[in-house]
Amino acid sequence: MIISAPVALRLLSTWRISIDVAPQEGFEDSEFKMIVSKAYQEWEEATRRRGIEQGIEQGQRILLENLLRASFRHT
């Protein structure tokens, strides 16, 4: 089964949360947790930026539609 990167990162972050509740000792475990945490944070930031960009684009579309409606009402 192949899963998308966002789904995989969410699963790994859930796993990381459960690891934080019951910490395991060992260099490999802590190194893996750091890598997963960084990957999840990068994914979360990219998702946030995409949401902001989509919101800006939607606002621009609405503004343009309103300007066009207003200009056609006055003609």
Q: How much helix, strand and coil, in percent to the nearest 5, is found in the chain?
A: 85, 0, 15
Q: What is the pLDDT of residues 17-33, one digit of tens each?
A: 565 555 556 767 778 77
pTM of the model: 0.57
Distance between CA 68 and CA 58 in Å, rounded?
A: 15
Summarize pLDDT for 24-67 with one digit per residue, the tens: 567 677 787 777 778 778 888 888 999 999 999 999 999 999 99
Could you tell me which residues come within 8 angstroms of residue 10 by beta carbon, excluding any fewer than 6 positions away? 40
Query: In degrees rounded to 5, what are phi and psi of residue 24?
Result: -110, 145
| Residue 1 pLDDT greater than 60, yes or no | yes
